[in-house]
A and B are shown apart, each in its own frame.
Chain A
Amino acid sequence: MSLQPARPLEQHPKAIVVGASVGIGAALVHELAHAGYSVAAVARRETELQQLADTINTAVSGPNRVLTYTHDVTDFDAIPGLFQTITGDLGGLDLIIYNAGAMPAMTADEYNFAKDKLMVDVNLLGAMAWLGEAAVRFTRAKKGQIAGISSIAADRGRRLNPGYNASKAGFTTYLEALRNRLSQHGVTVTTIKPGFVQTAMLDDAPRVFWVISTSEAARQIMRAIRHKRQSVYIPWRWGLVSRIIQMIPSFIFRRLNV
């Protein structure tokens, strides 16, 4: 599995999407492939991943295409090797999007270390393992772009799912720190904070509004990546909501059921 050999003057950009089989990740793979990228789609679910790649590879003509890699982001030891394999198969790397995320259903008073650990492993540690590899490489290349799909949930700790909030807050802070390290090397780090997007994650959510489709989310994310934005809310109005929520003092916030 590899791409057509590179022609010196006909280069096209290359991207990795981690967490690509369904939802926002799958939509991002679509967007990237149609924008002329060669994409390495990394995900746990092999069947969905293969289906996605087949659909796109038959629809998109030309040398750019989707390669698939079955991988569980909690298999941390495998990541350096897989990263090197993928950059070899793609023949380079311009963009990596970390989209893998876990949010198991939680009840109001549930304390479940297994679930918390899963969220930290997938949402934060997996990201560190993948993006750390990318950071080393992009530093050497003096260019490249890293995008992380975090969440509006990162902005405040809320009642429903402390583990999710904490993992996403950790991820957001990690991305900010990466940005501060890497901007001097010509590398862009983009933090994406989506609101409600029509994915399986919403199935267990109690109240949802302003829901957008995965393809709309992917379009907006791609725009942010193209414009090399630092941090964006998807869609933008969540930024206002978040600004307000962050201003609510704790003694009020803890009484609100949000």
Chain B
Amino acid sequence: MNTKERSKTTRETSSGNGRTPDIVASQPLLLPAERLETVAAWGGATKSLSYVYRPSTVAQMQEIFALARRSGRSIGLRGAGQSYGDAALNSENIILDSTRLNRILDWNPETGIIEAEAGATIGQLWQYILEDGWWPPIVSGTMKPTLGGAAGMNIHGKNAWKMGTIGDHILEFDLLLASGEIVTCSRQEQSDLFHAAIGGFGMLGCITRMTMQMKRIYSGLLTVDAIVSRSMDQMLAQFDEHLPTSDYLVGWVDGFGRGKGLGRGQIHKATYLPPGADPYPSQTLRLDFQNLPENVFGVLPRSIMWLLMRPFMNNLGARFVNLGKYYASVVGDGKRIQQSHAAFHFLLDYIPNWKWSYGRGGLIQYQSFIPTANAGAAYKEILARCLQRGLPNYLGVLKKHKPDDFLISYGLDGYSLAMDFRVTPRRLPELLKLTRELDEIVLQANGRFYLAKDSVLRPAVFTAFLGEEPLNRFKQLKQQYDPDNILQTNLWRRLVV
């Protein structure tokens, strides 16, 4: 009783100390330290602390937007955190993680139109629709990305020259603006915002729900042809030859090939089975059939593969692995197999946590997009430069693309080469120097870059490839829909602000 009274007095004294409630309210609100989490770029080469919130409803999201205003902190939108670099990092500020907003809301197996919340993943999507004979028109090399993240980065797959990007198949979406208001965007309604928010790396608003058109398939299998390429020139010629008859086309590039063998590798060409070709479609369209096998070579558990790969993730080991893979593709040239969709597409999920094999420093990916006419010369120069600098890439992937009509776009009529580099403290300065040299080669060749993969771009290079005009247009929209810069990420601050 006595204590109670005393504490009451104390409170009164302190409130009578000239501190009016108004002043207290105008002070920025403190964010709770227990919300602090280490948030890492997917490649693991960079990480930082953020106040992480995982809302499960749109109303909770709106509360977080209000919280950001009261605390004077920005919000970085994060899906599954599959971007290689800092696209889903927001150091010392709020991270709005959408992975719990992951419900499939509506599915029409007649029309193939699906409606889902933004935190639903590509994996959820295909597993939901497959048995009805549908497949997402665009999937990435991993099934982990959320739909919101995929739209924000406008991802592509191994059929980008034919089917474009995921944005091309989004019919409409709801966008939660910084003001807390929700607008529905489609090609007809709010078309400006539609074309800017897709690919807009989460800077204009938070996609909360979307509808997409799926693609009809008639079998759970793909016909896959393996073709060896003895040089970069040959690989590009083979791409030209096979593009018209392929549904998916992807090239693996040996980063260690030199001289005549520079840019050598292997192409995988996949085609859907036409109706009637699969005698038992209801069998192959089952989820069980699509599941990735538990063991590699039948004996090694997939979960420990990263550990076994670790000794090979250095220049010598990777040379050995790439060489082995190349000779295997020489031997296997012309081989045709039938493979399930999941096995063909989600190669990156085949070995769980394969990035760990790159060690503590993690990895970065450098993916450049170059117009068809310049691609051969530029990619040979890029590969040769990497070898010359003693920093060969350990995994190279070539794909074909086409232009798209989104504001922030990496699309062009040409090729992309994605290269994985290991990051270690010792290699880092050289690696940064190398990527700057590569930036020059790409810009010279009228090339472009893809923000989902980026860790190294500088503002000048970003502006140079994107062009002043689209960037200014984007900044205008940002000013219009998020005047207080509530939505930010490390990527945004690094490239634009």
Say if A and B assemble together. yes
The proximity string for A residues 73-101 relative to B, scoring 1 for CB distances below 8 Å and 0 otherwise, is: 00000001100100110111000000000
Tell whether, in the assembled complex, residue A81 and residue B36 are in contact, meaning their CB atoms are under 8 Å apart: no
Tell whether, in the assembled complex, residue A91 and residue B34 are in contact, meaning their CB atoms are under 8 Å apart: no
The reply to whether the CB of A5 lies closer than 8 angstroms to some CB of chain B is yes
The reply to whether the CB of A9 lies closer than 8 angstroms to some CB of chain B is yes
In the complex formed, the residue of B with least CB distance to A78 is: B27
Tell whether, in the assembled complex, residue A81 and residue B73 are in contact, meaning their CB atoms are under 8 Å apart: no
Which of B48, B91, B92, B493 has most A Cβ within 10 Å? Answer: B92
The reply to whether the CB of B364 lies closer than 8 angstroms to some CB of chain A is yes
The reply to whether the CB of A136 lies closer than 8 angstroms to some CB of chain B is yes
- Minimum CB–CB distance for A2 against chain B, Å: 10
Tell whether, in the assembled complex, residue A8 and residue B36 are in contact, meaning their CB atoms are under 8 Å apart: no
Q: In the complex, A141→B432 CA distance in Å?
A: 27
Which of B38-46, B396-404, B469-477 lies at the binding interface?
B38-46
Tell whether, in the assembled complex, residue B493 and residue A6 are in contact, meaning their CB atoms are under 8 Å apart: yes
In the complex formed, the residue of A with least CB distance to B496 is: A5
The reply to whether the CB of A219 lies closer than 8 angstroms to some CB of chain B is no
Q: List chain A residues, Cβ under 8 A from B490.
A: 5-6, 8
- Minimum CB–CB distance for B344 against chain A, Å: 31
Interface residues of A in 1-53 (CB under 8 A from B): 5-11
Tell whether, in the assembled complex, residue B28 and residue A137 are in contact, meaning their CB atoms are under 8 Å apart: no
The proximity string for A residues 170-183 relative to B, scoring 1 for CB distances below 8 Å and 0 otherwise, is: 00000000000000
Interface residues of B in 78-108 (CB under 8 A from A): 85-86, 89, 91-93
The proximity string for B residues 296-327 relative to A, scoring 1 for CB distances below 8 Å and 0 otherwise, is: 00000000000000000000000000000000
The reply to whether the CB of B378 lies closer than 8 angstroms to some CB of chain A is no
- Size of A's binding interface in residues, CB under 8 A: 21
Q: In the complex, A215→B237 CA distance in Å?
A: 66
Tell whether, in the assembled complex, residue A141 and residue B30 are in contact, meaning their CB atoms are under 8 Å apart: no
Q: In the complex, A88→B36 CA distance in Å?
A: 12
Q: List chain B residues, Cβ under 8 A from A91.
A: 48, 91-92
Q: A6-B493, A8-B45 are in contact. Are A140 and B92 (CB under 8 A)?
A: no
In the complex formed, the residue of B with least CB distance to A84 is: B30
Q: List chain B residues, Cβ under 8 A from A7.
A: 456, 494
In the complex formed, the residue of A with least CB distance to B38 is: A141
Query: Is chain B's binding surface mostly helix, strand, loop or mixed?
Result: loop
Tell whether, in the assembled complex, residue B432 and residue A10 are in contact, meaning their CB atoms are under 8 Å apart: yes
Interface residues of A in 92-144 (CB under 8 A from B): 92, 133, 136-137, 140-142
Interface residues of A in 130-177 (CB under 8 A from B): 133, 136-137, 140-142
Q: List chain B residues, Cβ under 8 A from A11.
A: 46
Interface residues of B in 440-494 (CB under 8 A from A): 455-456, 490, 493-494
Q: List chain B residues, Cβ under 8 A from A84.
A: 30-31
- Set A5, A8, A10, A133: member contacting B85, Cβ < 8 A: A8
Tell whether, in the assembled complex, residue B46 and residue A92 are in contact, meaning their CB atoms are under 8 Å apart: no
Tell whether, in the assembled complex, residue B34 and residue A140 are in contact, meaning their CB atoms are under 8 Å apart: yes
In the complex formed, the residue of A with least CB distance to B93 is: A88
- Minimum CB–CB distance for A82 against chain B, Å: 10
Interface residues of B in 344-403 (CB under 8 A from A): 364
Q: A88-B92, A92-B91 are in contact. Are A9 and B28 (CB under 8 A)?
A: no
Q: A91-B48, A92-B91, A141-B38 are in contact. Are A9 and B33 (CB under 8 A)?
A: no
Q: A88-B73, A92-B92 are in contact. Are A9 and B456 (CB under 8 A)?
A: yes
Tell whether, in the assembled complex, residue B364 and residue A81 are in contact, meaning their CB atoms are under 8 Å apart: no
Tell whether, in the assembled complex, residue A140 and residue B30 are in contact, meaning their CB atoms are under 8 Å apart: no
Q: List chain B residues, Cβ under 8 A from A133.
A: 33
- Minimum CB–CB distance for A140 against chain B, Å: 4
The reply to whether the CB of B497 lies closer than 8 angstroms to some CB of chain A is yes
- Minimum CB–CB distance for B27 against chain A, Å: 7
The reply to whether the CB of B423 lies closer than 8 angstroms to some CB of chain A is yes
- Minimum CB–CB distance for B110 against chain A, Å: 46
In the complex formed, the residue of A with least CB distance to B495 is: A5
Q: List chain B residues, Cβ under 8 A from A80.
A: 30
Q: List chain B residues, Cβ under 8 A from A5.
A: 490, 493-494, 497
Q: List chain A residues, Cβ under 8 A from B38.
A: 140-142
In the complex formed, the residue of A with least CB distance to B432 is: A9
- Minimum CB–CB distance for A226 against chain B, Å: 15
- Minimum CB–CB distance for A236 against chain B, Å: 30
The reply to whether the CB of B63 lies closer than 8 angstroms to some CB of chain A is no
Q: In the complex, A140→B49 CA distance in Å?
A: 9
Which of A5, A136, A141, A142 has most B Cβ within 10 Å? Answer: A5
Q: In the complex, A105→B223 CA distance in Å?
A: 88
Q: In the complex, A7→B89 CA distance in Å?
A: 11
Q: In the complex, A199→B92 CA distance in Å?
A: 36
Interface residues of B in 4-38 (CB under 8 A from A): 27-28, 30-31, 33-34, 36-38
The reply to whether the CB of B428 lies closer than 8 angstroms to some CB of chain A is yes
Q: In the complex, A91→B93 CA distance in Å?
A: 9
Tell whether, in the assembled complex, residue A9 and residue B91 are in contact, meaning their CB atoms are under 8 Å apart: no
Q: In the complex, A88→B31 CA distance in Å?
A: 11
- Minimum CB–CB distance for B40 against chain A, Å: 11
Q: In the complex, A92→B92 CA distance in Å?
A: 6
- Minimum CB–CB distance for A133 against chain B, Å: 8
- Minimum CB–CB distance for B422 against chain A, Å: 12
Known: A5-B494, A141-B49. 5 other contacts (CB 8 A): A8-B41, A8-B85, A9-B456, A81-B28, A133-B33
For the complex of A and B, 3 pairs with smallest distance between CB atoms: A5-B493, A8-B46, A140-B36
Q: List 24 A-B contacts (CB under 8 A).
A: A5-B493, A5-B497, A6-B48, A6-B91, A6-B490, A6-B494, A8-B364, A8-B455, A8-B490, A9-B428, A9-B431, A9-B432, A9-B456, A80-B30, A81-B30, A84-B31, A88-B73, A88-B92, A92-B48, A136-B33, A137-B36, A140-B37, A140-B38, A141-B49
